[in-house]
Chains A and B, each alone.
Chain A
């Protein structure tokens, strides 16, 4: 059914309690402050970015590394690769555990892609973050605690959808990721009041569904 959630599959979650300084440096962590790493791979990248951000709200952890893999989980390098590797770094293993728990909770119960057509051959991610954590707020140049709409869809749908979203409510495009991203989707981050973000996300999802129904106007 349209707009059924597609629950992300968490493919691996591991923890390195005392990581080697060289590894810490290579993945963007600071050996002075960080000793433990928490790693996750998942078959949906954008929900994982949201979940990594969620983790920074629940524990004293930093998201030091988060990269999507080329062409997405359909073309993964192994059965545990999925389409993203996210790395949390913290001062000790307990903090990292807390962070990973929040991350997994968010992936299981909150952030996910939705089907934009009956069969799920088009997917959409019209996610509203009510309160940004430290990771995405820094990435977006916003203040932690602000709301943000995180919108993702395939290239054509996303482009039409983004236009609809920007016109639907009083929102500002903070960052637009035109296609192709690593996973060949297109994305946008919109900032505004929570109600405006919600209206924009709804307009985005509706437009993506509409494009799926009428792919060719002529």
Chain B
């Protein structure tokens, strides 16, 4: 909007306040459009049907005129609401202690700051560093960290189960495991500082992943060998989609322990880590082969079209 046009518009409002403008001319009668009915297609396009079998993406969802069908819109809105809800949930301050974990916090002070300042979420605040020095077991093989990440819902949901499964699997393999900690307002890279403070060989952070449509309860795990502040994502291995409809936490814990074992044997992680020997233990998670997608969970139920 230009300066003068804005000025004139404001002037019009002001003049109307002092001296009402004449009523607007009557709206001419608009003839109704011819009624159009869009019957639901009797036969779906075979291409769309075939494509839909290979993905959870919204393909082959049909249309009504130029718009989506109501159930698709409702489904989308419901899924988006799940994601929004998860992002805006905050991990209660006393949750860690109630669950018997050593509570830590990043340099973030409040939730909004957490969302806006990833850099602050990657470093521990000073009381946390002191607490970790005092109470954390030092020089261990593996330091497990549970954290809220971008979904506190996921952390509070399956987080404990995943942590227990991971710790148990590590101990079964004979690794020394550090004091389990729970970090609040944590980003992935926080594991570098935690691992460095306790002098662990491998740091493993299990945290709520960025919610997507319909999944607010997904956990991810990031492992890094020889954690030091300044490690990059190229030094990490990760496993995502740890939730009931993806990789179940019980199974994920075992796979993560196998992955940590490989790191300890090969003394590296990330891109240089050779995953080939793990094919037996990680199964299809090593990648390469075709994996059938999980069916999309419907949050909105619709009756069959007649």
Chain A residues with a Cβ under 8 A of chain B: 1-3, 5, 109-112, 114, 118, 126-128, 130, 198, 201-202, 205-206, 209
Q: Is A114's CB under 8 angstroms from B21's CB? A: no
How far does the alpha carbon of A109 sit from the alpha carbon of B4 in the complex, in Å? 10
Chain B residues near A205 (CB-CB < 8 A): 8, 11
Cα separation A201 to B8 with both chains bound (whole Å): 9
Which listed residue, A2, A111, A202, touches B7 by the CB 8 Å rule?
A202
Q: Which residue of A lies closest to B11 (CB)?
A: A202
List residues of chain B with CB within 8 A of the CB of A209: 15
- Residues of chain B contacted by A201 (CB below 8 angstroms): 4, 7
Interface contact B24-A109, CB-CB below 8 Å: no
- A-B contact list, 12 entries, CB within 8 Å: A1-B21, A3-B8, A3-B9, A3-B12, A109-B2, A110-B3, A112-B5, A114-B8, A118-B22, A127-B4, A201-B4, A205-B8
What separation, in Å, do the CA atoms of A201 and B7 have in the docked complex? 9
Q: Which of A109, A118, A126 contacts B8 (CB 8 A)?
A: A126
Within the complex, what minimum Cβ distance (angstroms) separates B195 from chain A? Answer: 57
Number of interface residues, chain B, beta carbon within 8 A: 13
User: In the complex, which residue of chain A has the Cβ closest to the Cβ of B7?
Assistant: A198
Nearest CB of chain A from residue B224's CB, rounded to whole Å? 53
Verify A128–B5 contact, CB threshold 8 A: no
Assembly CA distance A111 to B2 (angstroms): 8
Given contacts A3-B8, A3-B11, A127-B4, 11 further A-B contacts (CB under 8 A): A1-B21, A2-B12, A110-B2, A110-B4, A118-B22, A126-B7, A201-B4, A202-B7, A205-B8, A206-B15, A209-B15
Chain A interface secondary structure, helix, strand, loop or mixed? mixed
Q: Closest B-chain residue to A111, C-beta based?
A: B4
Complex CA distance for A40 and B3, rounded to whole angstroms: 24
Binary interface encoding of chain B residues 153-178 relative to chain A, with 1 for a CB under 8 A from any of its CBs, else 0 = 00000000000000000000000000
CB distance from B92 to the nearest CB of A (A): 52
Query: Which residues of A are found within 8 Å of B4, using beta-carbon distances?
Result: 110-111, 126-128, 201
CA distance A43 to B11 in the complex (A): 25
| Interface pair A5/B7, CB less than 8 Å apart | no
Instruction: Give the distance in Å from the alpha carbon of A24 to the alpha carbon of B167 in the complex.
Output: 87
CB neighbours (8 Å) of A126 from chain B are: 4, 7-8
Report the minimal beta-carbon distance from A127 to chain B, rounded to whole angstroms.
5
Q: What distance in Å separates the Cβ of B24 from its nearest Cβ neighbour in chain A? A: 7
Query: How many Å from the CB of B18 to the closest CB on chain A?
Result: 9
A200, chain B: closest CB distance, angstroms: 11
Q: Could you mark each residue 54-97 of chain B with 1 if its beta carbon is under 8 Å from any beta carbon of chain A, else 0? A: 00000000000000000000000000000000000000000000
A121 to B: closest C-beta gap in Å: 14
Using known A-B contacts A2-B12, A206-B15, A209-B15, determine if residue A128 contacts B7 with beta carbons closer than 8 Å.
Answer: yes
- Give chain A nearest CB distance to B9 CB in angstroms: 8
- A2 pairs with B24, CB closer than 8 A: no
Residues of A within 8 A of B22 (CB): 118
Nearest A residue (CB) for B19: A213
Bound together, the chains give a CA A100 to CA B122 distance in angstroms of 52
Q: Residue on A with the closest CB to B1?
A: A109
A126→B5 CA distance, assembly (Å): 10
Q: Given the complex of chains A and B, what is the CA–CA distance between A198 and B9 in angstroms?
A: 13
Contact yes or no, B7 A110, CB < 8 A: no
Question: Which of B3, B9, B21 has most chain A Cβ within 10 Å?
Answer: B3
A110 CB, min distance to chain B CBs, angstroms:
4
* Chain A nearest Cβ from B135, distance in angstroms: 64
Residue of B whose beta carbon sits closest to that of A124: B8
* The one of A5, A110, A206 that contacts B11, using a Cβ cutoff of 8 Å: A206
Q: How far is the CA of A5 from the CA of B8 in the complex (A)?
A: 9
Point out which of B2, B4, B7, B12 has the most chain A C-beta atoms below 10 A from its C-beta.
B4
- The A-contacting residues of B in range 1-40, CB under 8 angstroms, are 2-5, 7-9, 11-12, 15, 21-22, 24
Across-interface contacts of A202 in B (CB, < 8 A): 7, 11
Contacting residues, chain B, for A127 (C-beta < 8 A):
4
- Closest B residue to A205 by beta carbon equals B11
Chain A residues near B15: list those with CB within 8 A: 2-3, 206, 209
Alpha-carbon gap, A22 to B187, bound state (A) = 72
Instruction: Report the minimal beta-carbon distance from B25 to chain A, rounded to whole angstroms.
Output: 9
Distance, CA A111 to CA B4, complexed state (A) = 8
Q: Which residue of A lies closest to B2 (CB)?
A: A110
Q: Shortest distance in angstroms between A206's beta carbon and chain B's nearest beta carbon?
A: 6
CA distance A198 to B8 in the complex (A): 10
Q: Tell me which residues across on chain A come within 8 A of B8, comparing CB atoms.
A: 3, 5, 114, 126, 205
